[in-house]
Amino acid sequence: MKKISMGSDHAAFEFKGKAIKYLEAKGYEVEDFGPFTEGAVDYPDFVYPAVKNVVDHDDTIGIVMCGSGIGANIVANKVVGARAALVYDPEIAKTTREHNDSNVLVLGPRFTSEENLYAIIDNFLNTEFSNDERHIKRIEKIKGVEANER
């Protein structure tokens, strides 16, 4: 079973707690990178270590979030090796796994119903990469972009 690396900001704190309970009930091992209280915080302080943990461990998937998901998505995609996708729709969660082999799911709980958030998580975690040659080629090109930016 995959491990889940999670981080958020204060705006997503409440849903992160619910998501951790939801995932643990399904048998996932969740590592929470914070925050651990509801006070105002800066999402890079918690999203970055959660995503770094994903790229450092092949058996780990990331789920990070902030109020809109936008800031968390920007931070996540700064980490070399992360393929983070900000997802507001369950079908897109499947697509980003199938086509992009995304290893980090980014959520924006302020703009998505709780029911949809759980459906997005399930679709993301239950969908495998297609291994289609055209998608592999594109992911290799993404890695090339990262290499050029180092």
Based on the residue annotation, tell me whether 99 is a catalytic residue of this protein: yes
- Judge contact between 133 and 141, C-beta under 8 A: no
pLDDT tens-digit map of 63-107: 999 999 999 999 999 999 999 999 999 999 999 999 999 999 999
**CA end-to-end span of the chain:** 33
Distance in angstroms (rounded) separating the CA atoms of residues 107 and 86: 6
- Closest CA relative to residue 108, chosen from 5, 7, 11: 11
Domain boundaries, the chain: 3-149
pTM: 0.97
Beta-sheet strands, E only, within the chain? 3-7, 29-32, 60-65, 84-86, 104-107
Which architecture does CATH list for 3-149? 3-Layer(aba) Sandwich (3.40)
Based on the residue annotation, tell me whether 57 is a catalytic residue of this protein: no
Among 10, 57, 66, 135, the active-site one is 66
Average pLDDT over residues 43-62: 97
pLDDT tens-digit map of 98-133: 999 999 999 999 999 999 999 999 999 999 999 999
Among 10, 57, 99, 135, the active-site one is 99
